[in-house]
Amino acid sequence: MADITRRLGWRHLRGAPTAHVRHHRSGTLEHDGPGLSFWYRSLTAALSEVPVDDRELAMTFHARTADFQDVAVQATVTYRISDPAVAAARLDFSIDPDTGVWRGAPLEQLGTLLTETAQQHALDVLARTPLAAALADGVTAVRERIAAGLGAEPRLPATGIEVVAVRVVALRPEPEVERALRTPAREQIQQEADRATYERRAVAVERERAIAENELASQIELARREEQLVEQRGTNARREAEEHAAADAVRAQAEAARTVKLAEAEAARSVRLARAEAEGAREVGAARAEAQAAWLRVHAEVEVETLHALTGTRLAENLPRIDSVTVSPDVLTGLLAKLGTGEPA
């Protein structure tokens, strides 16, 4: 939309580079071109603004295939107005001189023209194509047919329109038909997934079996080695017991020999000791006999009084020591009485 400014009854228009402006005054073309800027009076000016940039037109329409199945076609047509003068003469691109707004809806008219033309050529292609072929190769066929049809359409150049590109975005059947068509593919995919799952499980089972066999072989080898270890331990234990028994026998023989030697030495020592004791006893007895004989001979030659004196002396030597003697009056009186009578005390 053009930018229009008001100044004291005058109007100033400033156009965009992508908008072709045509200014007529009293039937005379005053300004013609894109991106113009000029002053004018609204009462005497007739303005039209034609966009010259590329525009996208999205369209959606339904068609029927050769096997009477409805499909939805989504397409996009890129176009531009190559001849603004012709387009302004054929369509109403006039704008309000005070606001710069289009008085009509020219772009909607162009959209209707392009949509109906493209739909006509697409229907012509799909009407002779079965649904399966349309879904497989219909996008390319429909795009080529629409592009060729729009390029050969005489109304478009006569209106100053040039088609730049045609794209078919999608070609889809009805939801029920689409679900029915998806079912075999889904079942096949599911079968492939199930087969992959079964194969994966089979591989896993095979691997588990191999692992179990390896574990069993390891256990068997371990048991065999344990058996060898037990056998070797038994052999070592028997050998150790035999060595201990031999050592004990040698030790017992040595101990017995030593005991015999000690017993023989002890017996010899006892014999020698017994002989020495007997000899000593015999000598002591002889000495005692001689001493007793000598003592008897001495006492036989001594007088009786001397013997009494010696007896008293020996008796006195054997009596206990008397530190003090206490004589009571009664004892003293008795002794004196006996002394007076001449009786022995």
pLDDT digits (tens, 9 = 90+) for 109-160: 999 999 999 999 999 999 888 888 888 888 888 999 999 999 998 999 999 9
Cβ proximity of 135 and 171 under 8 Å? yes
Model confidence pLDDT, tens digit, residues 43-67: 889 999 999 999 999 999 888 888 8
Note the pLDDT of residue 134: 84
Tokens of 291: 């001493």
Q: What is the mean pLDDT of residues 231-254?
A: 87
DSSP conformation class of 153: -
Cβ burial, residue 124 (10 Å; 0-12/13-18/19+):
middle
Note the pLDDT of residue 163: 93
**Residue 343 confidence (pLDDT) above 60:** no
Note the pLDDT of residue 303: 67
**Residue 322 confidence (pLDDT) above 70:** no
**Residue 299 confidence (pLDDT) above 70:** no
Model confidence pLDDT, tens digit, residues 199-214: 889 889 999 999 999 9
Can you give the pTM of this predicted structure?
0.52
For 24, 254, 270, 299, the CA distances from 266, given in Å and listed in that order, are: 164, 18, 6, 47
Note the pLDDT of residue 84: 92
Higher pLDDT, 297 or 77: 77
Q: Which amino acid is at 76?
A: T
pLDDT-derived band at 23 (thresholds 50, 70, 90) equals: very high
Cβ proximity of 26 and 4 under 8 Å? no
Note the pLDDT of residue 298: 67
| 70-81: strand order across its sheet | 55-64, 70-81, 161-173
End-to-end CA distance of the chain: 185
